[in-house]
Structure 1
Amino acid sequence: MTRLLPGGVALAILALLVGGALGALLWTAPAIDLGALWADAYLRHVISFTIWQASLSAALSIGFAIPVARALARRQAFPGREAILRLFGLPLVIPTIVAVFGIVAIYGQVGLLNRLTAALGLPTQQYLYGLPGILIAHVFFNLPLAVRLMLPVWQAIPGELWRLSAQLGMRSGQIFRLIEWPLLRQVLPGVAGLVFMLCFTSFAVVLTLGGGPASTTVEVAIYQALRFEFDLGRAVLLALVQLLLCGALIALGQSLARPVTLAPTPQRPHDRPDLAPLGGRIADAIAIAAGTTLVLLPILAVLYAGVTGPIGVVLGDPRLWDAALRSLGVALAAGVLSLAFGWAMLLTSRELRLRRYRPRAADAIEVSGSAVLVVTPLVLGTGFFVLLSPIADVFALALVLVVIVNAIMGLPYVIRVLGPPVMRVAEQHDRLCASLGISGWNRFRLVEWPAVRRSAGLALALCAALATGDLGAIALFGTQDTTTLPLLMYQRMASYQMEQAAVTALVLVGLCLLLFVIIERGVGGRGRA
């Protein structure tokens, strides 16, 4: 029974936190009349715009990602390919507010493109703030993700098919239509659904690039209702709408999902027959160059603006270091909490699956850890605000609440990264440990930790890095005394202190990367994955 205790305690605390927040929303919510809700022009516009921008963002991200992924799959051995794949991993971990700054530096009114346009004697354009800016930012973040998720499709195509297509003299278009597309369309619903959800719940991008009420999403409307209008009823109503829409979208995605095996095939490899034509090489070069440029330019803009900005002035500002220390404390606390909760749940799940033969109960525990994706940070934060405001000063508890929200949001990553090695070590060593009488601390020290150390380091580093750059929870609860680096950077951008914001962005990126590397190598060491 004691083996079930860690996960039971973690689940109870998680249920208390998330259930308490959601229960507070339901308890305080006004009677929801869907007809009246849709009759409210503002709410109708916010919901419609949220769905519209997420749909456009997903369509553009997937539409541009397909030719880039296909080009990378076709060209397996060109200089810089591995560097491009690594570059495509950066938007997944770079703080959103930092990337937004880079996008403004490229596409803003005084950005690189407008400066080049002015140098050519052409009129400059102001198009960034509003729907165009939101779409540009979402494509920046989600095109690399979609490319990395779709690349395994081509690895799963047997070499025999390439030999057959060569014997039949198939051209590139025929190969795509008859070989690649049938497999690609099986994974597209899942990839598109994930990208849509990320765009649907986007907060920092819309907050900074939305440009006004006409481009407000549900997430930003919740924030505005609480922080600016102090309209608790509207915030609760919007949070419940967000929760219902996210739940419905995830349920729809699950119903459309089909299991697809995308492991590399064991057959003898064979070159594609459409590699040699000049037109294909030019098209692939253009696709790869365009995708790389889209991702690389904002990152280079952040680095350039940071190193050429007023470094001495910003680094001499004590507010920067206070904010950096708070961000560091939030990141470490949230990462450790998330890792502890996730590990405890996985241990109990493993016990139920391997020793008690209750796979459904084990699945339920793991799904409950991932189900928090339905509850966005703004929805969870609104629930905590409603729950605690009658009995405590919510803003005095800001950093504690930010740690809790980020720890909960990190659980799906911990379960995904740590789950396979935790299960594998039990499958491989349970009988040996039982025969040698190794248990408790000795089992953890000698068997468990060496086997899962690298994965634990990666999970902790990922959660800490994501918490370092999070703007959602701290934007809701933050004050002058609890400002973190992302909030400080947003405040400087909002007050048009772009040079100071550039240096702050450089410090934030440096802190994220340094924290990630130190934790991954320090905790992960050289253990087996």
Structure 2
Amino acid sequence: MAGRDLALTLPHPPTAHRGWWVPGALVLAVIALVLGGSASALLGAASHIQNPLALLGDAYLRRIIQFTLWQAALSTLLSLALAVPIARALHRRPAFPGRQLLLYCFSLAFILPAIVAIFGIVAVHGRSGWVNQLLEWAGLPAAWPLYGLPGILIAHVFFNMPLAARIFLQRLESIPPESWQLANQLGFTSRDCFRLIEWPVLRASLTTTGAMIFLLCATSFAVVLTLGGGPRATTLEVAIYQALRLDFDIPRAVALAVLQIVLTGGLSLVALRFHHLPATSAGIRRLVRRPDAGSGTVIMDMAALAVAVLLVVLPLASVVISGLQGPILVSLMDPALWRATTTSLAVAGSAGAGATAAGFLLLLTSRHLALRLKQGRAALALEFAGSGILVIPPFTLAAGLFLLLRAHAIAFDIALPAVALTNALAALPFVLRILSQPMREVAERYDRLSASLGLAGWNRLRFLELPLLRRPVGLALALSIALSFGDLGVIALFGSGDNPTLPMLLYQRLGAYQFRGAAVTALFLALLSLGLFAAIERGIGGRGPEKDR
């Protein structure tokens, strides 16, 4: 004990943290170089626009802006409106069969490649999908057409409603058991429980969750590209893609990119607050039966859960069933599939490793500022600078890089490195959120002890930091690789038909109406993406140092 006390009182050696600013400075330099290069290309192209006000007053641009905001608002409202009753049903029925499976499907919706989920949505809600087949069997008219605004809304609800439901469920699980005991004593109805207990808790999360979902829907690319159905259902990102790759209308692409930055910049700042939601006590809560858990709310809860199954579980199941019914052997023997797999692994692996390394290096400098120099605001500003990609959407960043590289006639020659770099910057904010708190806790607990032992530099990283940070590093790497592995937006801008990734190959096969081969590709992409995530997270994270001891 005396040795521990002595270690805690020893000062830091003056040379232990020499050069603390170098890791963060290197990462900031790369970020500034990429963002600056992209911005300079956009501004340089904008300088050639003779009358920018007239361009921005174009009726086509106004229609795109209106549709972007309209579909994002509707998607947000639908996601939140469905998430609240689903979260209440999950909280009110903690023991119903299939609850854990439904929550697992909610988690899959976040990391599943967008193009795979879109394939499942088409298989369920398309013209010849499961829903219309069931309606035809029952002698009822077909449902609404999928392509256009309905399909966009269904897809956005698939991705965002599970996220909102999980957030709301965590908030409901944070309610103290004493509140439910009192509600039981007072004989609260379901309406009373919502008005007096649940709503005050959920209201705190609605604003930040809604802002985050709105931002995700406003910058959606793959969903609108595949399910938009034409120029009437076009958002800013798809319009930028069409202007650059199809029409070669650079002034219009630049105007759209600037508009997107202006529209999403403020919402990005609001969405950052999502990461500071109060911690819940769900892991140690004491279950108390709610007063409204009787038979009177069974039908309402079953209806909410049925909607969740229809919107989330059925598309996931359709991917598996359609893939197993397709030409598996023929598709697996196709060399194009394995070339695309190799390309996707190379791009995603580079992006994931780059994002994780950049986040780790940036946080080394950030925590030194916060803990050793007591410069908390400077540390927060440094981490916010690393999350600058939230203010400039990845597709807009990629558009600037495309213009910059195209000016030197190398846009397609170094397409894959450019895609990996953009995806790494897009994943960096997630890495920072995952690693920030664990890295600070390690420094707070072991800084003085490692200083007393003369443990610094590579030895500290090897023997102290990495063993204690295995689990968060594994999660950060797995998530960043999974996000890059399923990306369709940036590769659609930079890529060509000669070097498609797996998502791009699936999109090409869907566009060529090769539905049976596309079904196998979708299943292969889904299994590989989920397998990579699980293997990396568990392979690097292991059981964690706490359990090992």
Which residue does 1:327 correspond to in 2? Answer: 344
Residues 173 and 285, structure 2, Cα contact 8 Å, conserved in 1: no
Which residue does 1:76 correspond to in 2? Answer: 94
Shift of 1:409: 0.5
Residues 209 and 271, structure 2, Cα contact 8 Å, conserved in 1: no
Q: Which of 185, 196, 218 matches 1:200? A: 218
Shift of 1:500: 1.1
Q: Which of 140, 157, 167 matches 1:139? A: 157
- Percentage of pairs with the same residue: 52
Which residue does 1:444 correspond to in 2? Answer: 461
Provide, for residues 159-195 of structure 1, a one-character-per-residue CA deviation record: whole Å limited to 9, x for no partner.
Answer: 2222222222221101111111122111100011111
Is the counterpart of residue 480 in structure 1 residue 480 in structure 2?
Answer: no
Is the counterpart of residue 187 in structure 1 residue 205 in structure 2?
Answer: yes
Which residue does 2:300 correspond to in 1? Answer: 283
Shift of 1:392: 3.1
Instruction: Give secondary structure in 2 for the equivalent of 1:402.
Output: helix
Which residue does 2:43 correspond to in 1? Answer: 26
Which residue does 2:129 correspond to in 1? Answer: 111
Instruction: Give secondary structure in 1 for the equivalent of 2:413.
Output: helix
Q: 1:416 to 1:267 in 2, by over 3 A?
A: closer
Query: TM-score of the superposition, structure 2-length normalised?
Result: 0.92
Q: 1:343 to 1:257 in 2, by over 3 A?
A: closer
Which residue does 2:236 correspond to in 1? Answer: 218
Task: Read off the aligned partner of 1:352 and give its amino acid letter.
Answer: L
Cα distance in 2 for partners of 1:154, 1:174 equals 15
Residues 160 and 267, structure 1, Cα contact 8 Å, conserved in 2: no
Is the counterpart of residue 46 in structure 1 residue 64 in structure 2?
Answer: yes
Residues 155 and 262, structure 1, Cα contact 8 Å, conserved in 2: no
Which moves more between the two structures, 309-318 or 114-123?
A: 114-123
Q: 1:500 to 1:260 in 2, by over 3 A?
A: closer
Residues 56 and 255, structure 2, Cα contact 8 Å, conserved in 1: no
Cα distance in 2 for partners of 1:501, 1:259 equals 40
Which residue does 2:332 correspond to in 1? Answer: 315
Cα distance in 1 for partners of 2:34, 2:274 equals 30
Mapping for residues 333-344 of structure 1, pairs under 5 Å: 333-344=350-361
Residues 415 and 495, structure 2, Cα contact 8 Å, conserved in 1: yes
Is the counterpart of residue 9 in structure 1 residue 31 in structure 2?
Answer: no
Q: Which of 257, 280, 285 matches 1:263? A: 280
Cα distance in 2 for partners of 1:512, 1:114 equals 30
Cα distance in 1 for partners of 2:229, 2:508 equals 15
Provide, for residues 446-500 of structure 1, a one-character-per-residue CA deviation record: whole Å limited to 9, x for no partner.
Answer: 2111110111011101111111110011100111222111011101111111111
Shift of 1:230: 0.8
Which residue does 1:496 correspond to in 2? Answer: 513
Is the counterpart of residue 164 in structure 1 residue 182 in structure 2?
Answer: yes
Is the counterpart of residue 352 in structure 1 residue 369 in structure 2?
Answer: yes
Cα distance in 2 for partners of 1:519, 1:259 equals 27
Residues 133 and 209, structure 1, Cα contact 8 Å, conserved in 2: yes
Which moves more between the two structures, 65-74 or 509-518?
A: 509-518
Residues 186 and 258, structure 1, Cα contact 8 Å, conserved in 2: no
Task: Read off the aligned partner of 1:503 and give its amino acid letter.
Answer: V
Cα distance in 1 for partners of 2:351, 2:194 equals 45
Provide, for residues 234-286 of structure 1, a one-character-per-residue CA deviation record: whole Å limited to 9, x for no partner.
Answer: 111111111111103234567x989763422888653322222x121222122
Instruction: Give secondary structure in 2 for the equivalent of 1:237.
Output: helix
Residues 372 and 409, structure 1, Cα contact 8 Å, conserved in 2: yes
Which residue does 1:506 correspond to in 2? Answer: 523
Cα distance in 2 for partners of 1:160, 1:226 equals 59
Cα distance in 1 for partners of 2:114, 2:276 equals 31
Is the counterpart of residue 458 in structure 1 residue 458 in structure 2?
Answer: no
Which moves more between the two structures, 173-182 or 114-123?
A: 114-123
Residues 340 and 502, structure 2, Cα contact 8 Å, conserved in 1: yes
Cα distance in 1 for partners of 2:277, 2:336 equals 50
Instruction: Give secondary structure in 1 for the equivalent of 2:414.
Output: helix
Report the RMSD for the aligned CA atoms in angstroms: 1.9
Which blocks of at least 5 consecutive residues in structure 1 are unaligned?
none
Task: Read off the aligned partner of 2:39 and give its amino acid letter.
Answer: L
Residues 370 and 376, structure 2, Cα contact 8 Å, conserved in 1: yes
Cα distance in 2 for partners of 1:268, 1:465 equals 35
Mapping for residues 339-488 of structure 1, pairs under 5 Å: 339-488=356-505
Which blocks of at least 5 consecutive residues in structure 2 are unaligned?
1-17
Shift of 1:37: 4.3
Shift of 1:19: 1.8
Cα distance in 1 for partners of 2:271, 2:312 equals 28
Provide, for residues 92-143 of structure 1, a one-character-per-residue CA deviation record: whole Å limited to 9, x for no partner.
Answer: 0000000000000011111111222222334434510000000011111111
Cα distance in 2 for partners of 1:513, 1:135 equals 25
Is the counterpart of residue 65 in structure 1 residue 83 in structure 2?
Answer: yes
Mapping for residues 229-244 of structure 1, pairs under 5 Å: 229-244=247-262
Shift of 1:528: 3.3
Residues 398 and 482, structure 1, Cα contact 8 Å, conserved in 2: no
Shift of 1:33: 6.3
Tell me the matched-pair count: 527
Task: Read off the aligned partner of 1:402 and give its amino acid letter.
Answer: V
Residues 21 and 383, structure 1, Cα contact 8 Å, conserved in 2: yes
Which moves more between the two structures, 346-355 or 176-185?
A: 176-185
Task: Read off the aligned partner of 1:427 and give its amino acid letter.
Answer: E
Cα distance in 1 for partners of 2:36, 2:219 equals 20
Task: Read off the aligned partner of 2:314 and give its amino acid letter.
Answer: L
Cα distance in 2 for partners of 1:177, 1:365 equals 41
Q: 1:257 to 1:496 in 2, by over 3 A?
A: closer
Cα distance in 2 for partners of 1:160, 1:296 equals 34
Which moves more between the two structures, 35-44 or 496-505?
A: 35-44
Task: Read off the aligned partner of 1:9 and give its amino acid letter.
Answer: L
